[in-house]
Structure 1
């Protein structure tokens, strides 16, 4: 004789295959095709370009998941793109010199401007893509301007009441142990060449390269340390009472320092300052090109671009900056003569190699 509990168990056991089949056929349960999980956008960017709330809004609007990877240097960006340990990225943010490098390496896909209607809201000089070196090739567009800043000199007003006139002040012996420098081969060689008066800071010959290397070795005497991220630089500057800093992130760093209570000034030296223009590009490896284009277009929405200025102190490409620098000597960064050579020399400089060995 079968008890009630046993009978119920037998009935359920017999019905189980039927119930499973019913679930599969009607589309309920864990086997339901997951639309959002299948739409993943992998973004490679700099701090402040893709804040969590900005990402969340995009995910909700396009029913997709966004995975953001942040970098702190051009070298790190290049390494991430070539990494075999992570899935390919769909979109990336890089300066114009790097964009040309990526395009020449056949890593970028041409952009369909018809899918980027927000470009029509940009300032005229940023809509003239053909006039910006590195963004176009053979009539095709590979990048859209997003944000920019000069790379000037940041100084502590309490220690330096009169604004410095030259980037060479970084080498002034009075600031021994009070200087911060950005950890990057590309920009250090270029800004030092500019400070030394070389007319083509991105195209140095062998003698000029050696002279710049010697100068960067000399700079170590004044260094507190090298930094990578702007937040890191802010902490070093305040905690260790730095006097001067090469502002790789420009006005973004000024904004962070002032919010942290530092009394800092910002100046474009008489010899000029490097300036970067960061752009969004789509990679050839993009798995969902319409979604990648949607991201670039979304980044150019007025509310999103405005956050660059409100939160980061960076200029955007839709509105004129509040504080113009019309008379300043700005040198937009360009491709350099030998990236590998600069990086190898920089490793030796940072590691403490002696000047006479260069």
Structure 2
């Protein structure tokens, strides 16, 4: 989907002080940037409004998964894209491959809206090449009217007989394997042969007990009663809670991963100043509040979180989690050379009968 408007041709120097948009050069107003994001991951009128306020046109590509956009960017060397929305391990991988640009913080004054913890993320301390957009945890989402509150990842991986056939797991590699890693007391970034073998054995044994691997409709299975407990990202569990107040979210005693969805500028971008203006726009308070209220994910934009109606936290308790609590969990990282063995293990788990 493309949103655009006529670029401003006359020479102007504009400072959008109220929106926190830094003054841009005349050349920036004639530019068009290409972004790639997940569908529905920002306000529907954002691109149109951004163009109206800056004159910068935007073409948007939609990717379904991190792996999809990663493959395209690596194949093209980043050419054809200016701004990418990816999860932090993929942002880190792109930087390690030399495909992410170093950000000019002077061009992104709305970085001041971020909480301090958002500048301390393990994959990019100081936000050198990426800016966190949303963040959260992965846990267990369950029907409190049909079962007792789960306390361990093993409640999912080694379910009681009355739960067999009524649970789902995420099939996305890092989170499926992450559940096993946490249950075993291992790092979610451990790619040693011993750990991968233990995780494989546990997950292969779990497969026959599952209703399904499901990354998109698991909360609906809870709402309908088809499932009693599912592995879930906190925001997606909130979708279910919004449909049925008997649905609850819990982080097992072994903990969670810390996932972070980030924004970066490609090193190949020929419109870096305009791309940084776009990131600055994404860090506005009103954008952050829209994301929290509509996507139901926590945002590292402290000013936006402070502007939320307190009733949101009452309805969705996991939204009230403090940044320091989030950083207590291990962040998903780029697996580097360990990625090959990790991917092979995932393939073997999914192929097992």
Q: For 1:108, what is the secondary structure of its paired residue? A: coil
* 1:73–1:228 contact (8 Å) kept in structure 2: no
Give the aligned partner of residue 261 of structure 1. 244
* Contact 2:129 2:264 survives alignment (8 Å): yes
Quote the offset at 1:87 in angstroms.
Answer: 6.4
- What is the aligned counterpart of 1:41 among 29, 33, 42? 33
For residues 120 and 151 of structure 1, the distance between their equivalents in structure 2, rounded to whole angstroms, comes to: 27
Kindly report which structure 2 residues correspond to 1:25-174, keeping only aligned pairs within 5 A, or say none. 35=7, 39-82=31-74, 88-126=80-118, 129=119, 131-135=120-124, 141-160=128-147, 162-171=148-157, 172=159, 173-174=161-162
Residue number in structure 1 paired with 2:329? 330
Residues 1-20 of structure 1: CA deviation (Å, up to 9, x unaligned): xxxxxxxxxxxxxxxxxxxx
* Structure 2 counterpart SS, 1:180: strand
Q: Are residues 107 and 87 of structure 1, via their aligned partners in 2, closer, same or farther at CA, if it must alter by over 3 Å? A: closer
Q: What's the counterpart of residue 245 of structure 1?
A: 230
The alpha carbon displacement at 1:167 in A equals 1.1
Contact 1:186 1:342 in 2 (8 A): no
Q: Which has the larger radius of gyration?
A: 1
- CA drift of 1:327 comes to 6.4
For residues 187-242 of structure 1, what are the alpha-carbon distances to aligned partners after superposition, in whole Å with 9 as ceiling and x for unaligned? 222231111112x331232122111011111221122222234xx33334434621
1:47 Cα deviation from its structure 2 partner: 4.2
Partner of 1:25: none
2:178 is matched with 190
How far has the Cα of 1:153 moved from its partner? 1.0
1:310 partnered with 2:309 = no
Identify the residue that residue 15 of structure 1 maps to in structure 2. Answer: none
Over 3 Å counting, the alpha-carbon distance change for 1:140 and 1:233 in structure 2 is closer
SS at match of 1:338: helix
Tell me, what secondary structure is at the counterpart of 1:52?
Answer: coil
CA distance in 2, matches of 1:41, 1:224: 43
In structure 2, runs of 5+ residues without a counterpart are 1-5, 9-28, 307-312, 314-319
Aligned mates of 2:81, 2:246 — CA distance in 1 = 39
> Secondary structure at the residue paired with 1:193?
helix
Contact 2:196 2:345 in 1 (8 A): no
Residue 12 of structure 1 is matched in structure 2 by none
Deviations 1:40-97 (A, max 9, x none): 322222344323212221122233432333334332332232356x962211122332
TM-score (norm 2): 0.79
- Per the normalisation by structure 1, the TM-score is 0.78
